[in-house]
Structure 1
């Protein structure tokens, strides 16, 4: 049994030995690929914010969650996850659905469409489209122009060309050590990609589900 475990660990480490963006290995990203000996390489990214968040409870489709900030990086969430298999949404999504995607190992790129122009959006879109465990959506009026989230992790890049974006994706997309539900699918047949549950910009009321 020990030999089998050792072989599996070695295979995983070999598969993560080189960082990849858009399917191409880059030496500059090698140090951000998760491995048995470096399970959360994102901690080496300047400006990264990490918070210990236990796997979230489920809420109904009509419940709000009192997330401490928008966009959130974990917590209670809707039982349905937003499809996160390389989907670029043109509409703002209900946050409770997206947080469930983070629990499955997805990286979520959120941006304010009033402050991130078409050229920057195209740069970000190329990092997401048809990439497993990736999704992107606008949040009008969010505090920062651009923000990346995975479960318990958040990064606010300077712009779409910020090199830390690729570091974040390599370190945390489908990372089995930081994801509460490693191996969970990002395909979501019951989630309407064309007309998803909409984002509610109003503050959660007193009946909102608490974070703890």
Structure 2
């Protein structure tokens, strides 16, 4: 009995010592705060990246919905100019392919202009968002090729409103955008022979106007199939475009019924090198 009792007590003592050692090892290891902190930082970083993406991409994602809603305004053979159904659209008839020299101005009948004589070199219009105002005479030539030009008053349109407009233009064929100092409304849309002035960048009529008139194939603009690509330095360089002149055109400005200047660049046919 004595031996049994001693053996039992010995076993119990060994177990206690082993347990104490185990607790000592755990105590020495401690809580892995470095690992936990690293995981938290990674999670926070990922959350930040996702939030940033969602915020930045919101205009593009929302624009897809706006485009889908405006699809009913796409032109058809039975409805060649659906812009006539958009409230506020102003239309006028203009003669195309009347060119002036880069040193000349036109006394346009509208501001911003949306038709009439223009520079022989067109403004690059394949989804270009110009940070500064561009010469009217080059922008009007872009309209002749089937482009929609979004102009805005830089004193009235800022921040999120600029983002909404940019989402409609950047990288999209036959679209261009620029500030227009002194504009009488916050926003003005132009296509050849058509204009729509608006107060807010979330107005659905913007998307309806674009759907109805951009490269409308039904004779709405003069030069179907004409290029919108940049011509480059010496002609029209989108990195250094001719500056907008806010002053009133002088007595030497060309009238709206002008027939064209000798030596002005001739209109290019699709695929033809510049100047021919």
Q: How would you bin the TM-score normalised by the shorter chain?
A: 0.7 to 0.9
Identify the match of residue 180 of structure 1 among 205, 219, 222: 222
Identify the match of residue 118 of structure 1 among 145, 159, 163: 159
What is the SS of the residue equivalent to 1:168?
A: helix
Aligned to 2:70: 29
Aligned to 1:81: 122
> Are the counterparts in 1 of residues 129 and 170 from structure 2 also a CA contact under 8 Å?
yes
Aligned to 2:35: none
> Are the counterparts in 2 of residues 56 and 74 from structure 1 also a CA contact under 8 Å?
no
What is the SS of the residue equivalent to 1:71?
A: coil
What is the SS of the residue equivalent to 1:156?
A: strand
Aligned to 1:17: none
TM-score, normalised relative to structure 2: 0.67
CA RMSD of aligned residues (A): 1.6
Aligned to 1:95: 136
Deviation at 1:22, TM superposition (A): 5.6
Asked if 1:196 corresponds to 2:241, the answer is yes
| Rg larger for | 2
Deviation at 1:176, TM superposition (A): 1.6
| Bigger RCO of structures 1 and 2 (CA < 8 A, at least 6 apart) | 1
CA deviations over 1:55-112 (Å, ceiling 9, x no partner): 1410000000000122001100000000000000001000000000000000000011
Asked if 1:71 corresponds to 2:116, the answer is no
- The alignment covers a number of residue pairs equal to 192
Give the whole-Å Cα distance in 2 for the aligned partners of 1:127 and 1:138: 15
Query: Cα 1:56–1:203, aligned 2, differ >3 Å: closer, same or farther?
Result: farther
User: Which runs of at least 4 in structure 1 moved beyond 3 Å after TM superposition?
Assistant: 21-28
Aligned to 1:209: 254
Q: Report the structure, 1 or 2, having the larger strand content.
A: 1
TM-score, normalised relative to structure 1: 0.86
Query: Cα 1:109–1:80, aligned 2, differ >3 Å: closer, same or farther?
Result: same
What is the SS of the residue equivalent to 2:198?
A: coil
What is the SS of the residue equivalent to 1:148?
A: strand
